């Protein structure tokens, strides 16, 4: 007998989180929730908004009679070990499993559907997590915040998290109409809390106008081109956006002589001993940010935050693998030995928010992500997950060799020495310091060559400036 498919999702966990998820689903679809599942005997047999709360035994019975398309694990307090075990059990009876972020990564008791994560991510790797105390968020409530690159993976997540906290509007700048359109039309985002501005980070008049009109005192600088292979083919855009865009942002802020502004520059581990155009451009951006330490006339406070790979972000290799696995297409990997640091979007945003509230000035922050993970191992685990549902699933993997600018493994800092902050797993690192005048001359040289459309010469100037970092890596 062919099984029928149940209509609506099953929510595992009938606590506060599960009820909030239920409310959000019911707003969109009155028949969107089939039932709750919970271990608490006091809850079993009761109802929430006419939806039954059943036991795990009931769930097994349902799975024998019906096909279960989706289960949402709504238990933010669950630890990673229990979460993985629960996922393994539920994966045997449901076609797809989702989960809320762990409580240690979550910044508010409010939940929206954008917080749902594929449990495949939860299963594939485990990372260190951290929780920020309420004081970090309380101090942000009255800040006038600008987020550049607000429509990107990190930028949009910052918009979501900060709009929950701030009592004022979050100013969202992006040069992509599509990204801003997605923010504007996201029903889970409080539109009254955000102001969307379409514009380029290199538009000095626009940036100054935003800072003045909105009285900005905190900037999360997320605007950057970040795809390594694209930038190898388009170095001009990397320099103009990643380097000169950062220069323009700093100069625009600095034009307000009596105004104290804090900038959090979001960077990447590819800036450490850079071998790619992406790495070179982001490393120079880091140096330019910290260079203002030597400017006695500036009241700016700038810090760098350096990420590894953000798991599941737009255009990430993990999303590419998922698409290929689901479509059955051949998968290409550069090398089976490539290793990368990974962190979740929640962790990345927590790191950025934490850095913005630290008293340190002109520092570089990193997060303890443990050991780098072999990409090939992640791929094999993803394929194994697919085979849990489709036993005969086969897919071809082709090793193509490293592309220009790529490394076998990355580093999070130039020095192995890390310094503790007040938050577990967040550290500062002391990075190479460059001469103030030499850095300013570098900026002028880059500008003049870009005006003359001489990108190759600009890149050579950058490589010469960073010769000791590049040479040491080699």
pLDDT band at 289 (very low <50, low <70, confident <90, very high): very high
Mean pLDDT of the chain: 87
Where residue 48 falls (left for φ over 0; alpha for ψ -120 to 50; beta otherwise) is beta
Question: Are 7-124 and 134-312+340-372+410-429 in the same CATH fold?
Answer: yes
| Higher per-residue confidence, 329 vs 256 | 256
Packed helices 277-291 and 436-451: angle between N→C axes, nearest 10 degrees:
130
pLDDT value at residue 106: 52
pLDDT band at 78 (very low <50, low <70, confident <90, very high): confident
Q: Report the percent of the chain where pLDDT is more than 90.
A: 55
* Per-residue pLDDT at 70 exceeds 80: yes
Domain segments of the chain as ranges: 7-124, 134-312+340-372+410-429
* Per-residue pLDDT at 3 exceeds 90: no
* Per-residue pLDDT at 97 exceeds 90: no
Give the CATH architecture of domain 134-312+340-372+410-429.
Answer: 3-Layer(aba) Sandwich (3.40)
Active site residues: 270
Q: Report the percent of the chain where pLDDT is more than 70.
A: 91
* Mean local confidence (pLDDT), 287-303: 90
Entry pTM: 0.81
* Per-residue pLDDT at 472 exceeds 70: no
pLDDT value at residue 171: 97
pLDDT band at 115 (very low <50, low <70, confident <90, very high): low
* Per-residue pLDDT at 308 exceeds 80: yes
- Give the chain's length: 474
CATH of region 7-124, choose from 3.40.50.970, 3.40.50.720, 3.40.50.620, 3.40.50.300: 3.40.50.720
pLDDT band at 313 (very low <50, low <70, confident <90, very high): confident
């Amino acid at each position: 007998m062919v099984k029928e498919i149940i209509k609506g999702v099953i929510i595992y966990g009938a606590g506060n989180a599960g009820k909030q998820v239920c409310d959000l689903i019911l707003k969109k679809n009155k028949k969107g929730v089939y039932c709750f599942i919970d271990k608490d005997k006091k809850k079993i047999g009761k109802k929430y908004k006419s939806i039954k709360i059943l036991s795990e035994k009931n769930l097994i019975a349902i799975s024998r009679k019906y096909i279960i398309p989706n289960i949402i694990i709504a238990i933010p307090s669950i630890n990673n070990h229990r979460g993985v075990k629960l996922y393994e059990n539920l994966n045997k009876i449901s076609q797809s499993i989702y989960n809320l972020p762990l409580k240690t990564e979550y910044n508010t008791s409010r939940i929206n559907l954008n917080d749902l994560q594929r449990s495949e991510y939860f299963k594939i790797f485990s990372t260190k997590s951290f929780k920020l105390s309420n004081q970090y968020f309380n101090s942000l409530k009255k800040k006038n915040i600008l987020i550049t690159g607000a429509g990107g993976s990190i930028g949009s997540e910052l918009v979501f998290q900060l709009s929950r906290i701030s009592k004022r509007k979050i100013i969202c700048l992006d040069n992509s109409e599509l990204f801003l359109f997605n923010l504007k039309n996201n029903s889970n985002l409080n539109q009254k809390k955000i102001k969307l501005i379409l514009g380029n980070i290199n538009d000095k008049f626009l940036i100054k106008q935003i800072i003045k009109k909105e009285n900005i005192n905190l900037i999360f600088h997320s605007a950057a081109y970040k795809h390594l292979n694209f930038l190898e083919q388009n170095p001009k855009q990397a320099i103009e956006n990643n380097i000169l865009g950062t220069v323009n942002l700093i100069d625009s802020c600095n034009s307000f002589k009596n105004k104290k502004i804090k900038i959090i520059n979001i960077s990447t581990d590819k800036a450490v001993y850079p071998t790619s155009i992406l790495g070179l451009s982001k490393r120079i951006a880091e140096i330019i940010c910290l260079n203002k330490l030597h400017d006695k006339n500036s009241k700016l406070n700038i810090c760098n935050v350096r990420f590894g790979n953000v798991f599941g972000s737009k255009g990430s290799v993990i999303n590419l693998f998922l698409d290929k696995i689901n479509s059955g297409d051949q998968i290409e990997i550069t090398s089976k030995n490539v290793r990368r640091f990974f962190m979740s979007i929640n962790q990345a945003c927590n790191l950025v928010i934490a850095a913005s509230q630290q008293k340190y000035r002109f520092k570089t922050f990193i997060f303890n992500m443990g050991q780098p993970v072999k990409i090939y191992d992640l791929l094999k685990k993803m394929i194994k997950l697919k085979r849990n549902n489709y036993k005969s699933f086969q897919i071809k993997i082709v090793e193509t060799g490293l592309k220009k600018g790529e490394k076998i493994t990355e580093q999070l800092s130039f020095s192995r020495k890390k310094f503790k902050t007040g938050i577990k797993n967040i550290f500062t690192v002391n990075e190479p310091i460059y001469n103030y005048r030499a850095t300013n001359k570098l900026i002028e040289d880059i500008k003049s060559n870009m005006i003359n459309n001489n990108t190759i010469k600009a890149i050579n100037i950058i490589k010469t400036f960073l010769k000791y970092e590049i040479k040491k890596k080699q």
